[in-house]
Structure 1
Amino acid sequence: MSHQGSRSERRVSSVFLGIVAVMAVTGWAVWTGYATSPGLAVFLFVTSAWVVSLCLHEYAHARTALHGGDISVGAKGYLTLNPLKYTHALLSIVLPVVFVILGGLGLPGGAVYIERDRIRGRWKHSLVSAAGPLTNVLFAAVCTAPFWLHALDGVPLAFRFALAFLALLQVSAAILNFLPVPGLDGYGVIEPWLSHRVRREVAPLAPFALIGVFALLWIPEVNGFFFDRVTDVLGALGVSDLETYCGHSLYRFWQETDGYCTLP
């Protein structure tokens, strides 16, 4: 019975499979140009792929915690990749999608509740925190593979632009997540190595620190500096500013597409 329960706790949810199906179908529509509105197809493809990456981000946290000693993650449904099982579906799925739509920013989510007292060892705690953003890094590497492998021959422009914009979201999410700010995964990586006194003093500041980061990103100079670093990473991976710009332009299909990004 317990074995069956364990299997059911790890069975991939139909919700996640449905999102993957949307990603696959809309990705095919972008690639083939089948869609009457390429912008809408890009929007659906990138949004569904972004949600898939959010699910994988949280799954990575949970799976690493499971191997670290927190066996409660299975009963919470975290191993099913079902976004509806997250403790804060609004923070983990809805807000990140809204931020992508409004500003093209890969907002990190914060969803799974890990019972840290079940995990022994500072390295294990750090790995649990690092596992999520490392998933974004891996996702970015996959999205940009055609660029840094110089394998873009035959890749339709719309799909190329969509991949570039999706890569921007993954890179921005990874950089944000790795900031050593309370409330973000970067702080979770270093927290086990801090003294008990420091951790106790910092803990109440976590919600305000996170709000502060997002408030700073509304300042044009800070926002520009942040996206310059994102652009540097993408450039090193072979993705140009024009490609990410056109991807974002296509994604916002309800606005007039820039002339630079007109598809053949």
Structure 2
Amino acid sequence: MLFQDFSITEMIYLALTLAIAFSVHEFAHAYSAFRFGDNTAARQGRLTLNPIKHLDPIGTILFFIVGFGWARPVPVNRFNFKNPRVAGIIVSILGPISNLLLAVVGAFLYYLFIYLNLTSDFFYTFSEFLRFFVHINVLLFIFNLIPLPPLDGYRIVEDLMPRQVRPTLAKLEPYGAIIFLVLILIDPLYRVTIGVLLGEWVPALGGAIHQFFFELFITR
């Protein structure tokens, strides 16, 4: 997924999708942390769905150029949680889960439009956007579960590890971006790691979601 592969329409679809997906993702972190007793994100104005509060300019631009990027991470102070380990896992996983739910909602609407035989130009354009929306949110769901810092998958693994292992993991955090770049730039490593996730898992999960709603709305 590279910038030069996009039409103008697809770039608009991507911009709208990222504005929604990143905002909902970070809001899910902020809201769940707030519910568990940490108001750090709320005090910084992050308990909102306003994209301006969540989008990172560089991370968003990179999504257009190389196919992956990031939003501004929501600040979380786990010392405010009564049970930091359990609450930390839930707060971390709800970001990716929010993207999966967005993909499900997008697919539901897409096949509902087909079922209702809505054929106007508006619904045709919106349906094309929904297919794009589903794919990007599935990609974000899987991508964010990669267990490399600073992604959510790493935070989940960190909280699942025994306490004595965490200091060792903490030493590796500054090298997370380097490790990720190595996996991206060295083709043999890419093909057996991130390439599998993006090239096989994303289409498989997206296909399963589409198949479910296709059978629900179309084949009955």
Smaller-chain TM-score range?
A: 0.7 to 0.9
Task: Report the Cα distance in structure 1 between the residues aligned to 2:125 and 2:44, rounded to whole angstroms.
Answer: 39
User: Are residues 1:116 and 2:88 paired?
Assistant: no
Task: Report the Cα distance in structure 2 between the residues aligned to 1:150 and 1:214, rounded to whole angstroms.
Answer: 41
Identity fraction in percent:
27
- CA displacement, residues 57-92 of structure 1 (integer Å, 9 cap, x when unaligned): 111101111111112322111113344545xxxxx5
Counterpart of 2:191 (choices 221, 224, 227) is: 221
- Determine the structure 2 residue equivalent to 1:128: 91
Is the 8 Å Cα contact of residues 76 and 85 (structure 1) preserved in structure 2? no
Is the 8 Å Cα contact of residues 54 and 93 (structure 1) preserved in structure 2? no
Task: Report the Cα distance in structure 1 between the residues aligned to 2:181 and 2:196, rounded to whole angstroms.
Answer: 14
Task: Report the Cα distance in structure 1 between the residues aligned to 2:34 and 2:175, rounded to whole angstroms.
Answer: 29
- Determine the structure 2 residue equivalent to 1:27: none
1:16-35 → structure 2 map (5 Å cutoff): none
- Determine the structure 1 residue equivalent to 2:39: 71
Task: Report the Cα distance in structure 1 between the residues aligned to 2:149 and 2:195, rounded to whole angstroms.
Answer: 23
Task: Report the Cα distance in structure 2 between the residues aligned to 1:150 and 1:215, rounded to whole angstroms.
Answer: 43
Is the 8 Å Cα contact of residues 17 and 136 (structure 2) preserved in structure 1? no
Structure 2 counterpart of 1:206, one-letter code = E
- Determine the structure 2 residue equivalent to 1:262: none
Structure 2 counterpart of 1:230, one-letter code = V
- Determine the structure 2 residue equivalent to 1:101: 64
Structure 2 counterpart of 1:63, one-letter code = Y
Task: Specify whether residues 171 and 109 from structure 1 end up closer, same or farther in structure 2 by C-alpha distance, changes over 3 A only.
Answer: same
- CA displacement, residues 202-236 of structure 1 (integer Å, 9 cap, x when unaligned): 11312422442344234362454222211111111
Structure 1 counterpart of 2:108, one-letter code = A
Secondary structure of 2:56's counterpart equals helix
- Determine the structure 2 residue equivalent to 1:198: 165
Gaps of 5+ in 2: 1-6, 212-220
- Determine the structure 1 residue equivalent to 2:218: none
TM-score between both structures, scaled by the size of structure 2: 0.75
Task: Report the Cα distance in structure 2 between the residues aligned to 1:225 and 1:137, rounded to whole angstroms.
Answer: 19
- Across the aligned residues of Structure 1 and Structure 2, the Cα RMSD in angstroms comes to 2.6
Is the 8 Å Cα contact of residues 53 and 139 (structure 1) preserved in structure 2? yes
Task: Specify whether residues 147 and 55 from structure 1 end up closer, same or farther in structure 2 by C-alpha distance, changes over 3 A only.
Answer: closer
Structure 2 counterpart of 1:162, one-letter code = F
- CA displacement, residues 104-131 of structure 1 (integer Å, 9 cap, x when unaligned): x353435111111111212211111111
Displacement, 1:166?
A: 2.2
